[in-house]
Amino acid sequence: MKKVGVAILGLGVVGGGTYRILTEHREFYQATQAIDINIESVLEPNGKKLKELGVPKELIAHNIAEVVCDPDVNLVVECIGGVEAAREYVLDVLYSGKTVVTSNKELIAKYYHELERTAKRHNAGLYFEASCVGGVPILRTLLDGVQSNRITSMMGIINGTTNYILTKMTEEGASYGEALREAQRLGYAEADPDADVEGFDAAYKLSVLSSLAFHTKVPYTKVLREGITDVAAEDIERGKALGYRLKMLAIAKQSETGVEVRVHPAFIKKEHPLASVSGSNNAVFLTGDSVGDLMLYGKGAGDLPTGSAIVSDILYAASRSEPRYSTFKNNANPDKDIKFVTDFASAYYMRLSVTDKTGVLSKIAAIFGKNNISILELLQTPENDGATVVIVTHETHEAAVKNAVTKLNASEIAKVEAVLRVVS
């Protein structure tokens, strides 16, 4: 039976869940995997957390040097969060030749190239299944499930906080502020929610996912990112009436024209599998050239779901004779031959306030026509001194829509109140 000595850095939500799983399932892994995982060391400054989990005093480390120098530790789990301190700790561990498992998506998105280079030099492993989509085994699927395919597209709900907020707004008619406060009360959103609601969290994850799916470096700085703070309940309701549901989507595509990566709120047809992913749940919809469409669904966060992904990496690392590394040139910058698409194609939802004048719609249509935008659906609702017009376009291009919006806002006939993308 193979023996693996593990150290855990940080006993927060994820680290605590990992500790629980490893202590409660040790005999199960011995029986089913022929692997004996023993927690040798825990680095956590908060005595209350150590006491709550019942960590024996002899396992408590006081600094990273104790962990790195412990000959009984083969693998280190990083769950301290943040970036700079975590980066230094992980580098110290990798320099010592010990394998690292981490749930830190920002760390991987920003420093994957540096960490993997260090891991290779010292024959150490670096695994991070838990960094993307919590307990959903999306990285393992990309690496070991659909590796026979060229992945042409990937679309997902990969941030539970924003999905909870939009679900609350969609199903209960709550305003953004009301839904955010409820998410904070339940612990889904932080006191400072910007990382989630402004799309940073999803952008980091999409950088990691698309790099692995497309076998090329996709820096997080190349991800178009828009948040949900300006989403109005009015538009969610109007979208529902048209048969759409609003979701915060992470979208990645690979084609002959290049790589397209974006994170933003978007309408999706209510019949699409992603439309029914509610609350804080996550899902990723993949398309491979051979397998076709696949969807993975589950809990995107939480102590035990994310801890499950960490332990999966521990078992995976323990079962390999050699560490596994990326399939592409993992540098700080993307390969010079890779093109990133910014003027991507999409359909669009627009809400306009228009004046009560003859010929307004024909003038709007003329501006659209000059920008090669055709109208799929149009709804007009009379208001006191004008009307609200909702338009859904056929697929067009980002640059064309931006130009049309500028022309409309400069005119005396209409003001564009909202623009949201529509995913087919």
Give the tens place of pLDDT for each residue, 259-310: 999 999 999 999 999 999 999 999 999 999 999 999 999 999 899 999 999 9
Comparison of pLDDT for 315 and 355, the residue scoring more: 315
Residues 155 and 272 in one domain: yes
Residue 72 in contact with residue 1, Cβ under 8 Å? no
- Partner residues linked to 253 by β-bridges: 153, 260
In a domain, 308, yes or no: no
Residues 87 and 152 in one domain: no
- Give the mean model confidence (pLDDT) for residues 69-77: 97
The number of domains in the chain is 3
Q: What CATH number is given to the structural domain containing 382?
A: 3.30.70.260
Q: What is the pTM of this model?
A: 0.96
- Give the mean model confidence (pLDDT) for residues 147-157: 97
Q: What is the pLDDT of residue 135?
A: 93
Per-residue pLDDT tens over the stretch 250-271: 999 999 999 999 999 999 999 9
In a domain, 328, yes or no: no
Residues 144 and 283 in one domain: yes
CA separation, residue 164 to residues 154, 174, 420 (Å): 21, 12, 19
3-state secondary structure of 136: coil
In a domain, 69, yes or no: yes
Residue 117 has pLDDT above 90, yes or no: yes
Residues 279 and 361 in one domain: no
Q: What is the pLDDT of residue 291?
A: 97
In a domain, 307, yes or no: no
Residue 407 has pLDDT above 90, yes or no: yes
Residue 228 in contact with residue 166, Cβ under 8 Å? yes
Q: What is the pLDDT of residue 386?
A: 85
Q: Is-catalytic flag, 339?
A: no
Residues 249 and 164 in one domain: yes
Residues 212 and 124 in one domain: no
Residue 385 has pLDDT above 90, yes or no: no
Q: What CATH number is given to the structural domain containing 46?
A: 3.40.50.720
d(CA 136, CA 153): 18
Residues 165 and 276 in one domain: yes
In a domain, 311, yes or no: no
- Give the mean model confidence (pLDDT) for residues 385-393: 93
In a domain, 45, yes or no: yes
Per-residue pLDDT tens over the stretch 203-259: 999 999 999 999 999 999 999 999 999 999 999 999 999 999 999 999 999 999 999
Domain that holds residue 262: 138-299
Q: Which two tokens stand for residue 307?
A: 């801890």
Residues 111 and 169 in one domain: no
Separation of CA 349 from chain center: 24
Q: What is the pLDDT of residue 383?
A: 82
Q: What CATH number is given to the structural domain containing 264?
A: 3.30.360.10
Per-residue pLDDT tens over the stretch 11-52: 999 999 999 999 999 999 999 999 999 999 999 999 999 999
- Partner residues linked to 22 by β-bridges: none
d(CA 238, CA 308): 40
* Last residue within a domain, chosen from 268, 299, 330: 299
Q: Which of 98, 205, 222, 299 is catalytic?
A: 205
Residues 146 and 124 in one domain: no
Q: What is the pLDDT of residue 48?
A: 95
Residues 276 and 364 in one domain: no
* Last residue within a domain, chosen from 131, 162, 192: 131
Mean pLDDT of the chain: 96
Residues 146 and 292 in one domain: yes
Residues 256 and 107 in one domain: no
Assign residue 123 a region: left if phi > 0, alpha if psi is -120 to 50, beta otherwise? left
